[in-house]
Amino acid sequence: MSTEGSGTLTTRQAGTTSPLTSWMTFPDPVNEVAARCVAGGVAVTAAVAVVAGLPWLAVPLAYGFVARVLAGPRFSPWARIVTEVIVPRLGMAERPVSGSPKRFAQGIGAVLTTIAAVAYLAFGATTVTLVLLAMVAVAATLEAVFAFCIGCKLFAALIRAHVLPERVCVACSDLTLRAPRR
């Protein structure tokens, strides 16, 4: 169905893309250096929320994750700062990795932080919120410091278990396609 001409977004039609589709894209490949820097910011923010008892920080964290899932760095202020300011100044070579597992990992973060934000804002469940943010802090720290992406590992396992189709990310299901780390 198309709603062209009515001022609303159109659906995807045989080989065409809607205005929504053109704005809501996730990069593939992703620069792992940028992904790790974004994870570092998430780790620090989530850790501050937990240590200082600031559950309201779940709201901007949730926004950032949802924005990155929907459109990569386009609508995420932290991701924009990382990709446009921080990473270019680091002087490090780009390290391209598949975008699909990173988007999946961002989706997990979006779910956890959105539940945390709703738990706090709607129910005043500070403890639940801070526990969820602690989980996010741990996962983001593993990504930022050790390049260990829990969501990416889970994504690859789901492909190997045939829960997700291999065509989503061929490189994810075949470990031999990955270049050795230096």
Segment 116-131 mean pLDDT: 98
Which pLDDT tens digit goes with each residue over 31-71? 999 999 999 999 999 999 999 999 999 999 999 999 999 99
58 within domain boundaries: yes
Peptide bond into 29 cis (omega under 30): yes
141 within domain boundaries: yes
Pinpoint the alpha helices (H) of 24-178.
32-52, 58-71, 77-81, 87-90, 99-123, 126-146, 150-160, 170-173
Distance, CA of 176 to CA of 170 (rounded, Å): 11
pLDDT at 181 over 50: no
52 within domain boundaries: yes
User: In the chain, how many domains are there?
Assistant: 1
Segment 15-30 mean pLDDT: 72
Distance, CA of 58 to CA of 70 (rounded, Å): 18
Its domain, for residue 54, covers 29-147
Distance, CA of 67 to CA of 79 (rounded, Å): 10
173 within domain boundaries: no
34 within domain boundaries: yes
pLDDT at 23 over 60: yes
